[in-house]
A and B are shown apart, each in its own frame.
Chain A
Amino acid sequence: RKEVEQDPGPFNVPEGATVAFNCTYSNSASQSFFWYRQDCRKEPKLLMSVYSSGNEDGRFTAQLNRASQYISLLIRDSKLSDSATYLCVVSNSGYALNFGKGTSLLVTP
């Protein structure tokens, strides 16, 4: 079983919609959590860290549920520019990041 699991999608949503992605991780000792964004044929870029208390950055909200070992990302008021692959990332050691395979989002006009 892969350490970080995500629904690959694709999620096709209209502009302005709200969309949510979930991700589960297998190691209960995991310490740090992130969401990365990867555009087609580009490198992954850090979108936001995920904190136990939940955190928000503009239209993006991340939540962590340690008991159930899942992480979520909510995108409100989707923009065309949000189209990308969203990678769920978990760190067990504080050094090496384990990446999910990503969830593909396509926002349509």
Chain B
Amino acid sequence: DAGVIQSPRHEVTEMGQEVTLRCKPISGHNSLFWYRQTMMRGLELLIYFNNNVPIDDSGMPEDRFSAKMPNASFSTLKIQPSEPRDSAVYFCASSLSTGEDGYTFGSGTRLTVV
């Protein structure tokens, strides 16, 4: 199994630009999660999907952030317009619905907004 695949690995963009992060979950996993990690705040849940449906997006910081999951094998997290304070590592993770075995994380996207 290839695991959870995220792209790009690194992204440097200018303030005000649109950024799109991509994630392919593990085949057969029907829950998908987007987390953001910073030194100050640690890992924060942004949104999670179950069977492609957003279940809880209360962690999405503001309207500049949006996430979609058009099918079971693909999700995107978009930031528009980006701001320097969005700089962080963004992780995607997937799991079986029960979550009893924890999550599997992708390698993350390191976003720098200048």
Contacts and interface: CB of A to CB of B under 8 A. Distances in A.
A48 B101 CA distance: 9
B42 A99 contact: yes
A43 B41 CA distance: 16
B102 A102 contact: no
A32 B48 contact: no
Contact of A96 (B33, B98, B100, B106): B33
Interface size class of B (residues with CB under 8 A): 20 to 34
Contacts of B98: 94
Nearest to B43: A99
A61 B2 CA distance: 29
A45 B105 contact: yes
Contact of B45 (A87, A98, A102): A98
A101 B102 contact: no
A44 B99 contact: no
A97 B107 contact: no
Contacts of B101: 46, 49
